[in-house]
Amino acid sequence: MINTYEYARELDHQDPLAGYRNEFYVSGNKIYLDGNSLGLLSKRAEQSLLGMIEAWKEHGIDGWTTGERPWFYLSENLGNQVAPIVGADEGEVIVTGSTTVNLHQLTATFYQPNGRRTKILADELNFPSDIYALQSQLKLKGFDPATHLIQVKSNDGHTLNEEHIISAMTDEIALIVLPGILYRSGQILNMELLTKEAHMRGIPIGFDLCHSIGSIPHSLTSWDVDFAFWCHYKHLNGGPGATAGLYVNKKHFGKQPGLAGWFSSNKEKQFDMEHELNAAADSGAYQIGTPNIFSMAPIIGSLSMFNEIGMEKIREKSLKLTGYLMELITTELDGHGFIVRNPLDEERRGGHVFLEHPEAPRICKALKADGVIPDFRAPNGIRLAPVALYNSFEEVWQTVQILKTIMDEEKYKQFENKRGVVA
């Protein structure tokens, strides 16, 4: 029986990745299901951060060019380690900036309005910061976002229809920016199809991979995606404020960065201190300022696990975890008013389960009070993200039992039904 403790334990016993849980600082009295917002600290990430502090202590300014991992080349070296995770070739990925700064850079570089092509195509379900960035880039070019930012509508408020997106790829569109996975419902967009359709119409296209990197496999280069950007602090467990990343297809190498900075330079020429930029010949050209070394250091340790295991195995376990969670929700929570809003089809489901309930804010508070860390999304969404590297099937079973007790005993009613300042 799937709803028994013994069944969950057997799934853990059969899990080839179960040992990686010991790599992380997992609290013994909490079940952490918010790894799609901030991943847990691993012992390897801790050691790589401590090692970088030691390098500063030992080498001082010479740490830029000496030691085990010279800082001057760290962004490029880490980029090449991230490349297999997103299906990119050497030189196409750089670890730099933040998600929104990288989107500004890529939009400034690839948004080139000309003639009738002056509009940017996005969607109405994307994370707000992406929309803010696109609106501001339009304003900088003298366009009104109300008329020039086209946002594809959702039929149900949770998912997008790729055919509707393709229909919006008119001869007025100069750039397309979409999420790889929708942050609320966890729907995976067909990036390969959308890229093919965009290119058939002569439109460059890029993707926000914040919720997909480290969660699902990608093949950015073989899909011929023009650019992508992401954070490293969710499924990749790089730590709060971890330096982000971006991808630029090698066919665009040599394209001048829209936002140039000193670290956009060809490294052989950077210290010539010339006032005319000699840009790097690869994705390094799309850096702007000095790398945030300590915000990059934990990524080193975290990446070692991903490249050790491979994304296919991580994805396989992720699907088993979310599938098991949905089965238990269906069998154990029937009649309690929960609606599963993420896609049920494995090919379209990312790394979390999204539940809707009218009492979602207070249910999330009740879960936290009982040792389960969920994620609330206004107005009535609960995201539960069992992460392949550190969550167990036993924890999934326990979570549903705790949630069932909360609902049966109406324990959530002791909490106010509104979100906190941070949610």
Binding residues: 99-100, 127-130, 208, 211, 233, 262, 290
CA distance 239 to 285: 25
CA-to-CA distance for 392 and 376, rounded, in angstroms? 21
Burial class (CB in 10 A: 0-12, 13-18, 19+), 402: middle
Whether 335 contacts 322, CB under 8 Å: no
> What is the phi/psi pair of residue 248, to 5°?
-130, 125
Asked whether 7 and 1 are in contact (CB, 8 A), the reply is yes
Q: Report the alpha-carbon distance of residue 175 to residue 154 in Å, rounded.
A: 20
- Binding residues for pyridoxal 5'-phosphate, as ranges, are 99-100, 127-130, 208, 211, 233, 262, 290
**CA–CA gap between residue 154 and residue 174 (Å, rounded):** 22
